[in-house]
């Protein structure tokens, strides 16, 4: 009995190792993405505000109120950009809408936001599931997979139309995202460590599998 318990424990630890590694990879990729957004977006904007403030200070010392006013107007405008960038990063981390309104309104919101930023792409939604049928821990998984899928479509596809379906089939939740863009070699892309698309597919696959689901990506 003791030997069997030890073997079961050893087996559990062995199975947990790849899962822990996958979780670490997901967290690391998220950290890299957030770091890049902070550096390329917010940090640059705040740096511009700093330079404009230094300019305004020199203009005050020169007693040039007209130029000071222009500099302050510029600082106010750029500060508003920084505020919007911070809000965008915050929404991408976990939109408040997900907790306040639920996953279904959040799905529609994300689709509309994607259409705004990718104006040449139209999204058609097909929702056939109740909010209460989706476990809370799965809601963020659905959001992240949608988010990563949209990023891949925007960056690597020539698509003009995306069909998104979220429905319940028996005891399963099916999320399907299909675009009319060009295809690619799925296995080769997944195995490519240098490909941003490969990292995106791997991230979606890991999220689905760690949640007890199955991920399929195929060319039609």
Mind listing the pLDDT tens digit for each residue in 32-86? Answer: 767 777 777 788 888 888 998 999 899 898 888 888 888 899 999 988 888 888 8
Identify the CATH class of 97-210.
Answer: alpha beta
Highest mean pLDDT among 130-134, 181-185, 205-209: 130-134
Q: What does the pLDDT average to over 78-95?
A: 79
- pLDDT tens-place string over residues 115-172: 988 888 999 999 999 999 999 889 989 998 998 899 888 887 788 999 999 999 888 8
Cα separation, 217 vs 206, whole angstroms: 13
Domain boundaries, the chain: 2-93, 97-210
Contacts from 38-41 at CB under 8 Å and sequence distance 24+? 38/89, 41/85, 41/89
Pairing of strands 161-169, 122-128: parallel
Q: What does the pLDDT average to over 179-188?
A: 64
Cα separation, 170 vs 195, whole angstroms: 36
Confidence of residue 219 (pLDDT cuts 50, 70, 90): low
Q: Check residue 10 and give its pLDDT.
A: 59
């Amino acid at each position: 009995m003791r030997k069997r318990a030890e073997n079961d424990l050893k087996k559990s630890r062995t199975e947990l190792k790849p899962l822990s590694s996958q979780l670490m990879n997901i967290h690391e990729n998220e950290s890299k993405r957030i770091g890049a957004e902070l550096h390329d977006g917010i940090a640059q904007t705040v740096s511009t505000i700093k330079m404009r403030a230094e300019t305004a200070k020199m203009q005050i010392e020169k007693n040039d109120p007209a130029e000071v006013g222009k500099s302050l107007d510029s600082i106010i405008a750029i500060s508003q950009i920084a505020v919007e960038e911070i809000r965008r990063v915050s929404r991408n981390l976990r939109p408040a809408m997900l907790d306040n309104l639920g996953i279904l309104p959040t799905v529609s919101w994300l689709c509309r936001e994607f259409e705004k930023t990718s104006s040449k792409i139209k999204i058609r939604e097909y929702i056939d599931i109740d909010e209460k049928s989706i476990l809370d821990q799965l809601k963020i998984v659905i959001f992240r997979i949608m988010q990563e899928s949209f990023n891949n479509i925007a960056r690597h596809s020539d698509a003009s139309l995306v069909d998104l379906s979220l429905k319940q089939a028996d005891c399963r939740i099916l999320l399907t995202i299909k675009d009319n863009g060009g295809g690619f070699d799925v296995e080769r892309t997944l195995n490519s460590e240098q490909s941003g698309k490969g990292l995106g597919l791997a991230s979606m696959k890991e999220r689905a599998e760690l949640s007890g689901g199955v991920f399929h990506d195929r060319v039609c």
